[in-house]
Amino acid sequence: MEKSNVKKLTLFAITWPIFIESMLHMMLRTADTFMLSKVSDEAVAAVGVANQIVMFMFFLFNFVSVGAAVVIAQYLGAKKYGEIHKFSANAISLNFLFGIIISIVITVFSTPYLNLFNLEPELFSEAKIYMLIVGGALFLQALMLTVSAIIQAHGHTKYTMYVSVGMNVLNITGNYLFIFGALGFPQLGVTGVAISTVVSQFLGLIVNFLILFKKVNIQISLKELVTWQKHRVKQLLSIGVPSAIGQITYAASQVVTTGFIAILGAQILSTRIYTLNILYFVMVLSISLGRGTQIIVGHMIGAGEKEKAYQEAFKSLKLSMLLTLGVTTIIFFFREQLLGLFTSNPEIIMTGAVLLVMGFMLEPGRCLNIVLGQALQAAGDAKFLMMTTIIVIWGFIVPLYYFTGIYLGYGLIGIWIIFILDEWIRGVLLWARWRSKKWESKALVGKEKQQAG
C-alpha cells in the first residue's frame, strides 16, 4: 500500500492553521447572526434555537470523525501506513450512512423538536424552515468532518484552512445577497441564510475530497468503502462513541438550558446568543490548541513516546490559558461596543456586558476541559472523558441551571454562574486524570497487535 503524505509536526505549525480555520467557522456563525440581527432580534432567536438542535445532531457525527482522527494519528506515529487507507475508507462510508439517517430524522421530526421550546408562531415558522434546509443537508457535514479529520491527522492543517476561507466567502456573499436582496436576488431572510450555508458546505466538501486524494495521497477503492473490517470499525468506535456521547451530553444540556432561557423571553435568549458569539472568539484559541495537541499527542502515543505526550499536553494547556485570558481582557475593554454590533437594545447590552466580564472566571476552566479532553482522547482514554461529562452535567449542572436561573429567579446571570462552575468541575477532574497517567495503557496500536495475534 502506498505511503500517505505525512507532514512533520510541531505545535505551532499544526495549530495556527487550525486556529485560522476555527476562527473562520466562528466567523461564519457570527456573520449569520450579525446579518440576521439587521432583520430582527426575533430572526436571531429563531435561528439560534434551530441551531441548538442542528448542533446536537452535528455532534453525533463525531463518533466516527474523532475516532478516525485519533486512530490515524496513532497509526501514523507507529508508521503502520498500510492500514491508514483502509481506516479512512471505513470512516468515510460509515459516517456518510449515519449522516443520511440523521438528515432524514431531523427533517421528519423537526416539528416535535421545535415544540420543546414553546416558540411564538412566527419564530416557530422561521426556525422550522431553517431546520428543514440545514438539517436535511447534515450528511454533508458528516462527510466534511470525517475528510477534514483525516487530512488534519496527517498534519496538513493548512489545506482545511484554505477550504474554510472559501466557504466563508461563499457563505457571507450568499447571506448578503439573500438577506438584503442585492443584485436582484430575492430577499429571503432566514431561508436565504440556510441556503447559503448548505451551498458553501457542498462546495467545500468537494474541494476537501480533492485534497484527500491528490495532496494527502489517500487512495480509496470502492471495495474498501463497502467492506467494513470488524477490528477497524471497533477501533474507530472505541474512541468515537465515548467522545460523541460526551459531546451529545453537553449539547443536550445546552438544548435544555436554551429551553430554560426561552421561558425568560426572546430578549434574554437573544442576549445569550449574542454573548456566546463574542465568546466563541476566545474559545477558538483553546479549541485550536486542543486539536493541535490531539494530533501531536496521538502521533507520540503511536510511536511509544508517552512521557513526551504527557509534557506536550501541559505545555499546550499553559499556552491556552495565557492566550485566552489575553483575549478576554481585550473583550473586557470593548464589551459594550462589541454587543452594540449586534443590537441597540440597552437591556441586552447591559446584561451581555456583565456576562462578558464573567469570562475571566469562565475561560481558564474551559481551557482545562478542551485541551486535556483532547489529549485524553488522543491517548485512547475517551471513556473517562465521557463518564465525567455525563455524571457532572446531568447529575449536578442541569438541575442547578433550573434551580438557580428559574426557581430562585436569578435569570441568565444565575445560569451563567452555573455554566462557569460546570467548566471548572470537569476541568479539574480531567487535570487529575492526565496527572495520574492512567491513560498510558489505552493506546490503540497495542490493542490492534493483540487482536491481530
Write out pLDDT tens, residues 116-154.
777 677 777 877 888 888 888 889 988 998 898 889 888
Which pLDDT score is estimated for 451? Answer: 46
Which pLDDT score is estimated for 8? Answer: 61
Which pLDDT score is estimated for 26? Answer: 66
In sequence order, the 6+-apart residues with CB closer than 8 A to the CB of 163 are 148, 204, 207, 208, 211
Cell of 4: 500517505
DSSP 8-state secondary structure symbol assigned to residue 3: P
Which pLDDT score is estimated for 208? Answer: 93
391 pLDDT higher than 90 = yes
Which pLDDT score is estimated for 452? Answer: 44
pLDDT band at residue 7, thresholds of 50, 70 and 90?
A: low
Q: Which residue has the higher pLDDT, 81 or 404?
A: 404
Tell me, what amino acid is at 61?
A: F
Structural contact between residues 241 and 396, judged by C-beta atoms closer than 8 angstroms: no
pTM confidence score: 0.76
Neighbours of 38 (CB within 10 A): 11
The Cα 86–Cα 88 span in angstroms is 5
In sequence order, the 6+-apart residues with CB closer than 8 A to the CB of 309 are 296, 297, 300, 301, 375, 378, 379
Structural contact between residues 405 and 260, judged by C-beta atoms closer than 8 angstroms: yes
In sequence order, the 6+-apart residues with CB closer than 8 A to the CB of 314 are 434
> Residue 432 burial (CB < 10 Å; 0-12/13-18/19+)?
exposed
Neighbours of 164 (CB within 10 A): 23
Structural contact between residues 54 and 134, judged by C-beta atoms closer than 8 angstroms: yes
Which pLDDT score is estimated for 394? Answer: 93
